[in-house]
């Protein structure tokens, strides 16, 4: 278990120090921000989608704790050129994992599931769950046409 925890910490640190798809995209169709007042995290998602809300490309910028940046980086890397259905399955699976309900996960992609398990490792620290879900709430708001800044409170 300690080896697994160390691996998860290594992945979180890698993504927080070297976030994937990090940077503002001026050509993005949709730009949406999330603020986590508890921790001070601010994540902005830059997204292009097709008519069916399938993700064409996705980037992010942000300032915040290692968990919020790493979670955003993992999510953005996972969701490049993915369908809305894949995003929704991933989001639901992550919520189940955060709630300690490993059974009933809908995700058939073992690599994606492993990435979600890394994020879900924060469930041991309940006050950090909002840090881990900030970017996910933001992309969910994009996919469901919700207006305004997303808040974790």
Residue 105, pLDDT score? 59
CA atoms within 13 A on the CB side of 143: 20
Contact 34, 150 (CB under 8 A): yes
pLDDT along the chain (153 residues), means of 10: 72 94 96 92 96 96 95 97 94 86 66 87 89 95 90 79
134 contacts 122 by C-beta, under 8 angstroms: no
Chain centroid to CA 2: 24
pLDDT at 121: 87
Domains of the chain by range and CATH?
2-151 (3.90.1010.10)
Rounded to two decimals, what is the model's pTM?
0.91
- Gap between the Cα atoms of 114 and 84, Å rounded: 20
Backbone φ and ψ for 55, nearest 5 degrees, come out as -80, 125
pLDDT of amino acid 78: 96
118 close to 11: Cβ distance less than 8 angstroms: yes
Angle value at C-alpha 67, between 66 and 68, nearest 5 degrees = 95
CA atoms of 72 and 128, how far apart (whole Å)? 14
Q: How many other β-carbons are positioned within 10 Å of the β-carbon of residue 59?
A: 21
């Amino acid at each position: 278990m300690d080896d697994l925890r160390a691996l998860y910490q290594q992945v979180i640190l890698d993504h927080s120090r070297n976030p994937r798809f990090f940077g503002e995209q001026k050509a993005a169709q949709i730009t949406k921000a999330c603020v986590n007042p508890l921790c001070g995290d601010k994540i902005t998602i830059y997204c292009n989608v097709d008519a069916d809300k399938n993700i064409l490309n996705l980037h992010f910028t942000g300032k915040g704790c290692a968990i919020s940046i790493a979670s955003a980086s993992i999510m953005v890397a996972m969701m490049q050129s993915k369908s809305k259905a894949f995003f929704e399955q991933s989001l639901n699976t992550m919520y189940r994992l955060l709630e300690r309900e490993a059974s009933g996960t809908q995700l058939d992609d073992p690599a994606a599931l492993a990435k979600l398990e890394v994020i879900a490792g924060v469930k041991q620290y309940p006050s950090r769950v909002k840090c881990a879900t900030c970017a996910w709430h933001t992309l969910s708001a994009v996919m469901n046409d919700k207006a305004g800044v997303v808040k974790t409170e």
